[in-house]
Structure 1
Amino acid sequence: MGRHASTSIKKTEYDPSTRILSVWFVASGKRYDFERVPPETYAAFRSAFVKGRFFNDHIRNHFRYRRIPD
């Protein structure tokens, strides 16, 4: 069991050209796009041991976001 999949975050995508971080959540299945996220923040997020905690500490309430309709 070498992989540490997040229990709360299903997957993430990042576009360096727009600096938009897309996050899909396990519980709701919903996607949120966070705006103006620096590349170094995404790099730290990706390598974080506990992604849910990093998200809560460094991304949630720090960046403007919008929910993307299904």
Structure 2
Amino acid sequence: MHYFNSTAINAARYEMATGNLTIWFTSSGQGYDYPGVPSYIWNGLLSAASAGTYFNLHIRDQYAA
């Protein structure tokens, strides 16, 4: 589990074997699964200057939640 200093994303977990990314949002506190996410997307999220912006550009609407 990785925790973010973000107004949009509280935490995320990535399962390398399955490519399943789970993201917990600060607004709802709920976790949402994004299947089939490549590891480079996960690494990009971890290194992004803004986790929320990265999510909107590279994950949201790209992978089914």
TM-score, normalization: structure 1?
0.85
Shift of 1:64: 1.2
Runs of 4+ with deviation above 3 angstroms:
none
How far, CA to CA, are the matches of 1:51 and 1:7 in structure 2?
9
Query: Mapping of 1:42-61 within 5 angstroms?
Result: 42-61=42-61
Structure whose alpha-carbon radius of gyration is higher: 1
Give unmatched runs, 5+ long, in structure 1: 66-70
Query: Mapping of 1:7-46 within 5 angstroms?
Result: 7-46=7-46
Q: How many percent of aligned residue pairs carry the same amino acid?
A: 35
Residues 4-60 of structure 1 show CA distances to partners (whole Å, capped at 9, x for unaligned) of 711110000000001000000111011100010000110011100100000000000
Give unmatched runs, 5+ long, in structure 2: none
Q: CA RMSD in A?
A: 1.0
Q: Which has the higher contact order (CA 8 A, sep 6+)?
A: 1
